[in-house]
Amino acid sequence: MKKPQTDVAYDYIKQQISSKFYFPGCRLVEEDLVRDTGVSRTSVRAALSRLRYEGIVEGTPNRGMMIKRFRREDIINAFQIRQTLETGAFELAVRHITPEAIARMRQANRQMERLMENFSISEFVKYNRDFHWEIALAAHNEYYEKYLDEILSTLNVCILFYNNTIEDRRSVMLHNEILRALETKDVGLGKQAIIADNQCAIDDFTFPPAIHI
């Protein structure tokens, strides 16, 4: 089945961000995107609007759009929302998650552990999202799925460009706690680990020089 043109443009921009070809403050030129993706200007504008809704792009079609420059408070607010959503989703996931989903989470965490020897922030972002996305899916709630998808996408950009860690063993350890909580159906343990994992991520950020902490 052929991918819709808006999705082609959307996926292209996301891939360019993931590869760090596009970076915070980078201007997105519609003509260039039309040429590079082979889709219509209308589809490019729809993709940019979707990314703006997700908080990854800022600006207007008439004045120009760019990859958002995140402030300290933007990132902390995003993590607070993720924490609220994910702890809520976890309560439902404990009831519904399958052994296969837990196995996928465990595999993603093993891949993150492997990165400790040769760290790659791009790969870390991918496997970290894979891990947390299984919780969203296991909740069996379309709203948790929708909003966690959006906030995880936003935080991926933040982690790519503002996270200064060269390894993240604490996150791997906390993910193991989340896995143990899912297997034992311990909601309290799982929520505590999710909260600690969010704080761990915040601790690893370096914010732009103009931001005073």
Per-residue pLDDT reduced to its tens digit, 128-168: 999 999 999 999 999 999 999 999 999 999 998 888 776 67
Which pTM was predicted?
A: 0.85
Q: Average of pLDDT values for 103-115? A: 96
Upper half-sphere CA count for residue 167 (Cβ side, 13 Å): 9
What is the pLDDT at residue 162? 87
* pLDDT tens by residue, 184-194: 999 999 999 99
147 shares a domain with 50: no
100 shares a domain with 117: yes
86 shares a domain with 150: yes
60 shares a domain with 84: no
Q: pLDDT confidence of 1, banded at 50, 70, 90?
A: confident
171 shares a domain with 78: yes
Residue 211 counted as domain residue:
no
What is the pLDDT at residue 213? 33
Residue 208 counted as domain residue:
no
| Nearest in space to 132 (alpha carbons), one of 116, 145, 119 | 145
Does the CA dihedral 90-172-16-101 come out positive or negative? negative
Check pLDDT > 90 for residue 97: yes
CATH of the domain at 17: 1.10.10.10
- Domain interval for residue 199: 72-203
* pLDDT tens by residue, 11-42: 999 999 988 899 999 999 999 999 999 999 99
| Nearest in space to 57 (alpha carbons), one of 68, 42, 46, 49 | 68
For the ranges 32-41, 53-62, 65-74, which has the lowest average pLDDT?
53-62
Check pLDDT > 80 for residue 91: yes
Of the three residues 33, 67, 101, the one that is the final residue of a domain is 67
82 shares a domain with 15: no
Check pLDDT > 80 for residue 82: yes
Number of domains in the chain: 2
Check pLDDT > 50 for residue 212: no
165 shares a domain with 91: yes
Residue 59 counted as domain residue:
yes
96 shares a domain with 62: no
CATH of the domain at 144: 1.20.120.530
